[in-house]
Every structure is written in structure tokens, then in C-alpha cells.
Amino acid sequence: MRSCEVMIVGGGPAGSSAAWKLRRAGADVLVLDRERFPRLKLCAGWITPEVVRDLDMDVGAYPHRLLTFPRLRMHFGRLQVPIACVQHSIRRVEWDAWLLERSGAPVIEHNVRHIERVSDGYVLDGAFRCRYLIGAGGTRCPVYRELFRELNPRSSELQIVTLEHEIRYDWEDGDCHLWFFDHGLPGYSWYVPKERGWLNVGIGGIAARMKRGGHDIREHWARLAAMLDAGLTPGAEYDPSGYSYYLRGEVAVVRRDNAFITGDAAGLASRDLGEGIGPAIRSGLRAAQSILEGTPYRLEDVTGLSIGSIARSMLGRVARAGRYGPRRPPASEGGPAHGLRHRD
Ligand SMILES: Cc1cc2nc3c(=O)[nH]c(=O)nc-3n(C[C@H](O)[C@H](O)[C@H](O)COP(=O)(O)OP(=O)(O)OC[C@H]3O[C@@H](n4cnc5c(N)ncnc54)[C@H](O)[C@@H]3O)c2cc1C
């Protein structure tokens, strides 16, 4: 049986951030993931300046695709609202593998099925033993399923369904576009360019409201694809896939004995924009901190609404422009305010 002090189930942003913090403090950590990295993760790959700061990430040294947006273009019907703020995009297939490797934690490919509570910790599938257990396995996390589901039932009113596709495409418009409530969609669709000829487009909406309103996400998709074909992405061909996750509701219990749940396993995506990467990372870091310092595991500073982060980024830009005139954002916001970071 393989033993370690802290076992992390899932090597996505929540698990790799927890592993990174624990390893930096010298803890004995092991990550189990059912997939071999680099692995595909359906996600638009939009990240905020907070994510860059939380990960202590030097975007200039990041070895894969990263694009910085000087603004978000939000569409409400015919109204288009450009929001001047600094945000970024990455490709999850690259970024997740990079984060996991950077954590320095050993990773074993293993699909966790069964978790047993024993006197001094946990035994997973009769093969792995640990004192502390971090559930970072996303929506279908076995730690949530086996230890937390009864205490934290998920609300179907908070379930998001999505369709998305990331394609090679030589886009011309390098801004991120979001279309809200188009044709009654209880959610939004997106166009998120990635550095060097990649593009992610998708749709997300609250499943229960879509069902009640008689919406078919594939019809919304067809409308989005037609709009993009006539405008931003002529000639692009899409073959979308779906995935589901949960917006943040009441998360009553996030720690049970020495077991923790983080990220999508806990259902922490922001209520307004379904931002899940930032909350996954912050919660992973907080779980690690709790183990290292023996302090309570709390989610108070884990983003519940993304609009606050966007507003802070906007205000930061306005304040800097007022003080110094047009300029580049500080390194902590990671990258140029305008234009793209291209690497040959
Ligand atoms: C279409 C779509 C677009 C999105 N766009 C954005 C966006 O642009 N920005 C944003 O912030 N958020 C976005 N999100 C949400 C974001 O992708 C998630 O919130 C985020 O990935 C959560 O990270 P995590 O580490 O908790 O889980 P995950 O990233 O899902 O990682 C979980 C890991 O656990 C592993 N695992 C699962 N089960 C097991 C098991 N039984 N045994 C071992 N390993 C297991 C999986 O293989 C996976 O590697 C989007 C989501 C979707 C579906």
C-alpha cells in the first residue's frame, strides 16, 4: 500500500494549487488523477489577474499560450458594452499540465472509486493510505460523493450545462466577447481567443431554467455558430461537447475530520459568470494552508461573484490612467494592457 501524509484526488487547478503550496512547505503529498496529463478539460480558459497573483505566476515566463485582453466586450441584445479591464486566456490542456508539473508533487494515474475512513486517516481503493485527504476531483469527485454529498447536497437550480469547442482558428478580433441572455438563454455565450491561432467558443446556462423555458442548448448553439459564421469566425467548423458543473450555493461543510473539498467538487463557481478556475485555486490554497498551519478551512475570501474582480481591474486601470496617463499594467496583473503576447 502506498502511504503519504496528504493525498489529493484530482490534478486540475484546485488539486495542483494545493499540491504546489504543500510541496513548497515540504509536505509529503501525492496526487491521484484518473487521466494522464496533459489532458483535455472543457473550459473557455479565461483567467483573472487574481488567479495570476494567487499562483505567483510570471506570465512573461509562462512557456505556453497566454493572451491578455485589454477589455471584455459584453453584448446585451443589440447593445455592446466594452469593459476596459485586464483579463487573460490560456489553453487548459497546456496550463493544467504546466501547473501540475510546477507543483513538484508526484502524480499517479488512478481512477479513485472507494474511500474508507480508518482510525488514522483514509484508505483509497485499498491501495493508497493518507492522513489528510483533499477532494479536488471536479463535479464528479469521489471525495464529494463518498464523504460530503449527504452533508452538502447540490441544488439542481445551480447546475450549469455547457457546450463548447476549442478550435484552431486564425482569428482577427483579439477581444473576448460575451453575449448575455440571447434569445432567452438563462446564461451567456462566449468567444475567447487564445494566443497563436486558437479559439474557444461556447454556451453555458442554468439547466433547470433552460428546461422550464423549453430551451434546447443545441438550438442556441446553432444560432451562435450562425452568428459567428456571419461575423467573427467565417468558415469555422465546430463540433461541440458538453459538460456540467455547479454555481456556488450554500456550502455548509467543506471539511470533515481530515478530509477537505475544493473547487468544482465543492460547487464553488461564481454565481454571475460561472468562473470556476479562480475559486478552485483559492480553495485549494486555503485547504493546503489549513493543513500546514492547523487553522480552520474557510472559503470567505473565495470569489463568489466575478463582477467584483472585473470592477477592481477596471478601477485599477482608471486610477493608473489618472495618475500616469496611458500605460501598461503592473507585472502583478500579468502582461500588456493592449495587444497580444505572441511567441514564435
Ligand atoms: C465549458 C466550460 C467553460 C468554462 N469556462 C471557464 C472559464 O473560462 N473560466 C473559469 O474560471 N472557469 C470556467 N469554467 C469552470 C472551470 O472549468 C472549473 O470550475 C474548473 O476547472 C474547476 O477546477 P477543479 O480543479 O475543481 O476541477 P477540474 O478542473 O474538473 O479537475 C478535476 C480533476 O479531477 C480528476 N478526477 C475526476 N474524478 C476522478 C477520480 N475518480 N479519480 C481521480 N481523478 C479524478 C479529473 O480527471 C480532473 O483532472 C468552465 C467550465 C466549463 C464546463
pLDDT in tens, the chain (344 residues): 999 999 999 999 999 999 999 999 999 999 999 999 999 999 999 999 999 999 999 999 999 999 999 999 999 999 999 999 999 999 999 999 999 999 999 999 999 999 999 999 999 999 999 999 999 999 999 999 999 999 999 999 999 999 999 999 999 999 999 999 999 999 999 999 999 899 999 999 999 999 999 999 999 999 999 999 999 999 999 999 999 999 999 888 999 999 999 999 999 999 999 999 999 999 999 999 999 999 999 999 998 899 888 888 787 766 655 554 433 333 333 333 333 453 33
Establish whether residue 273 lines the binding site of ligand 1, counting it when its CB lies within 6 angstroms of any ligand atom. Answer: no
Assigned C-alpha cell, 126: 485499498
Give the closest residue (by CA) to ligand 1 atom 36.
137
What is the C-alpha end-to-end distance of the chain, expressed in Å? 46
Q: If you measure from the C-alpha of residue 8 to the centroid of ligand 1, how many angstroms do you get, rounded to a whole number?
A: 14
Q: Is the CB of 135 under 6 A from ligand 1?
A: no
What pLDDT, on the 0 to 100 scale, is given for residue 240?
Answer: 97
Give CA–CA dist 242/329, Å, rounded: 36
pTM over 0.75: yes
pLDDT of residue 328: 38
205 lines ligand 1 (CB under 6 A): no
In this prediction, residue 313 carries a pLDDT of: 79
Enumerate residues 6+ apart whose C-beta is below 8 A from 47. Answer: 87, 88, 89, 90, 277, 278
pLDDT digits (tens, 9 = 90+) for 239-274: 999 999 999 998 889 999 999 999 999 999 999 999
Q: Is the CB of 112 inside a 6 Å radius of any atom of ligand 1?
A: yes
| Buried/exposed 65-86: b ≥16 CB within 10 Å, e otherwise | bbbbbbbbbbbeeeeeeebebb
Q: Report d(CA 172, CA 115) in Å as an integer.
A: 49
Query: CB burial class (10 A; 0-12, 13-18, 19+) of residue 317?
Result: buried
CA atoms within 13 Å, Cβ hemisphere of 206: 20
Whose Cα sits closest to atom 18 in ligand 1? 276
Residue from 245, 246, 273 to probe ligand 1 pocket by mutation (most atoms less than 8 Å from CB): 245
Beta strands 107-109; 29-33: pairing state:
parallel
CA 87 – CA 70 distance, rounded (Å): 7
- Indicate which atom in ligand 1 lies nearest the CA of residue 111: 42
107 C-alpha to ligand 1 centroid (Å): 17
Cell of 309: 474582480
Q: Provide the pLDDT for residue 342.
A: 37
CA dist., res. 291 & res. 6, Å (int):
9
